[in-house]
């Protein structure tokens, strides 16, 4: 498994659980590196069942949303599934306003998201 600076990755029953190191995902350099690391999970490590756990993320910019949209496409192209869990209400609201809640599978808890992979 590769070493990452912006994320940590754990495996649970074939699902890669990704947690974010940064509390605020706003700096363009950070976002670029984060995008590369998330992309590498799918393209290099061939992980296609991803659960992004946002419990430590307090704020993220719209540029970070673009990286998530890009990741979602990569996961779908790899015949996989992507779920997002533990979003703070204010971040979840951004997904609703931008209608990305229709694109992404948003779950309240990590447990809910893991259970949804088994459906």
Residue range 28-51, pLDDT digits in tens: 999 999 999 999 999 999 999 999
Query: Could you tell me the pLDDT band of residue 1, with boundaries at 50, 70 and 90?
Result: low
Per-residue model confidence (pLDDT) at position 107: 98
Ramachandran category for residue 44: left, alpha or beta (phi over 0 → left; psi -120 to 50 → alpha): alpha
pTM: 0.96
d(C-alpha 86, C-alpha 109), whole Å: 5
Average pLDDT (14-24) is 97
Architecture of domain 7-117: 2-Layer Sandwich (3.30)
Residues in contact with 75: Cβ distance below 8 Å, sequence separation at least 6, in sequence order: 42, 48, 50, 81, 82
Contact 62, 68 (CB under 8 A): no
Average pLDDT (69-73) is 98
Residues in contact with 68: Cβ distance below 8 Å, sequence separation at least 6, in sequence order: 52, 84, 100, 104
Per-residue model confidence (pLDDT) at position 71: 98
d(C-alpha 110, C-alpha 90), whole Å: 18
């Amino acid at each position: 498994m590769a070493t990452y600076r912006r994320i940590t990755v754990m495996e649970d029953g074939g699902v890669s659980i990704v947690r974010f190191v940064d509390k605020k995902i706003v700096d363009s350099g950070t976002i670029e590196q984060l995008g590369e690391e998330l992309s590498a999970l799918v393209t290099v490590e061939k992980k296609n069942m991803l659960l992004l756990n946002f419990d430590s993320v307090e704020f993220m910019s719209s540029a970070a949303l673009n990286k998530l949209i890009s990741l979602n496409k990569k996961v779908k192209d790899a015949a996989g599934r992507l779920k997002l869990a533990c979003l703070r209400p204010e971040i979840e609201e951004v997904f609703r306003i931008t209608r990305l809640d229709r694109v992404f599978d948003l779950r309240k808890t990590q447990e809910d998201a893991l259970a949804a992979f088994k459906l």
